[in-house]
Every structure is written in C-alpha cells, then in structure tokens.
C-alpha cells in the first residue's frame, strides 16, 4: 500500500529530487525507439521570442520534479518541453525526472482523477517547499484529443503530433512554469531573503 507523500516536507521533496535523473539520463533508460521519440519532440519544440523573454525574466530558482514513464506517449509528447525550458534558463530552472513505477512508494500516493496517471510535475522553490502540482495533460492537449475522438487514450511513443498542438501544449506547460515562478517571486519569505 502506498501513502500520499508528504508534500509539505521540503526534506522529502529534496530527497526525491536528488534521486531523480536529468533529461538525457532519464530518456537513456528507454529503448532506442523511445529515446528517438523523446528527442524528436524536443527538437520540434521551439520557443518564440516572447517565450524566451518570459524565461529570461525568471529571477527565482525553481526545482521541477517530473514524474513520468519513458514508455508513456503523453509523457513523450509533453515533457521534452521541460528540458527546452531548462536549457533556455539553466541558472534558474533545475529539472529531474522520476520513473513512476521505479519510485512507486513515492509516486503511487499521488493520483489524478483516481488514477495513477503520468505525467505530472511538482514545482518547488529554492528551499524545496512545495509550490504546485500540474499534470496529466494540458488543456490544449485535452482539446486536441477530444477533437480526434479516435485511437488510444494514451498514444504510444512516436505517435504523430500536429505542430499546432505541439506549440499550444508547449505554451500551456510554460504557463504553468510561469505560474510556479510567480508564486516563488511573490513569496514573502523569499522576497525578504532576496531583499526584492
């Protein structure tokens, strides 16, 4: 039996973050086909000038822990965006991945709509205080799936994804990241520490 992880305990979150893998090491745990699928999405994900400017404005360090499965089609079609964001702002965005099944004692206690779904992302501040949890699929991803009404509910890695859906989903994820950053930026504790 799994229990809900103590998201209010920064020590627990820090410990899990440290156990996580960076993007390249994480996708290397998959098959060649899975790795190629992740990389194909990452290579297609391009930030606009305004999205770069948004990330350039991040002044707080945020820690992102992505719970995923390298085999999961929804993870493949969304989570490479996080690596694009990290690469654009490596001094402010720290990113690690946990495999849901390998870390079931931690991940099994977090369910979405009564399911052990992936992906989901925990955003933490520089002290590993919990900031937000976002997951499963973004609004634009759900809209695209609803419009199709065909095929599996969780596409296999390598399934085709239209560029407009990819761009809209990237924008959704960036919006969630911006929300997390603003929560940290406006934190009374952190504003006092950084005198801003």
**Residue range 49-55: mean pLDDT, rounded:** 97
Task: Please give the structure tokens belonging to residue 76.
Answer: 């493949």
- Which listed CATH number (3.40.50.300, 3.30.300.30, 3.30.390.10, 3.40.30.10) goes with 10-191? 3.40.30.10
Q: Are strands 120-124 and 62-68 parallel, antiparallel or unpaired?
A: antiparallel
Distance CA 73, CA 188 (A): 39
State residue 48's pLDDT score.
Answer: 97
Per residue in 71-129, pLDDT (tens digit) is: 999 999 999 999 999 999 999 999 999 999 999 888 877 877 787 888 999 999 999 99
Distance CA 172, CA 170 (A): 5
**Residue range 162-188: mean pLDDT, rounded:** 92
- For the chain, the domains span 10-191
Residue recorded with tokens 């990241």: 177
Instruction: List strands edge to edge, sheet with 130-135.
Output: 93-99, 62-68, 120-124, 130-135
Under DSSP, the state recorded for 6 is -
Q: What is the band of 162 on the pLDDT scale with cuts at 50, 70, 90? A: confident
Distance CA 11, CA 160 (A): 40
Distance CA 32, CA 164 (A): 26
- Give the whole-number percent of the chain exceeding pLDDT 70: 93
């Amino acid at each position: 039996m799994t229990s809900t992880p103590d998201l209010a305990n920064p020590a627990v979150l820090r410990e899990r973050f440290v156990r996580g893998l960076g993007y390249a090491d994480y996708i290397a745990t998959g098959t060649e086909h899975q790795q190629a699928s992740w990389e194909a999405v990452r290579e297609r994900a391009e930030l606009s000038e305004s999205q770069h400017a948004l990330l350039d404005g991040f002044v707080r360090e945020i820690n992102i822990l992505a719970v995923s499965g390298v085999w999961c089609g929804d993870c493949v079609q969304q989570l490479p965006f996080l690596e694009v964001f990290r690469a654009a702002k490596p001094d402010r965005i720290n990113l690690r991945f946990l495999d849901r099944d390998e870390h079931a004692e931690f991940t099994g206690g977090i369910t979405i709509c009564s399911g052990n779904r992936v992906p989901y992302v925990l955003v933490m501040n520089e002290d590993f205080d919990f900031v937000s949890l976002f997951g499963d699929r973004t609004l634009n991803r759900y809209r695209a799936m609803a419009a199709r009404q065909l095929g599996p509910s969780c596409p296999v890695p390598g399934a085709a994804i239209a560029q407009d859906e990819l761009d809209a989903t990237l924008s959704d994820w960036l919006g969630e990241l911006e929300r997390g950053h603003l929560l940290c930026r406006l934190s009374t504790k952190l504003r006092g520490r950084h005198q801003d």
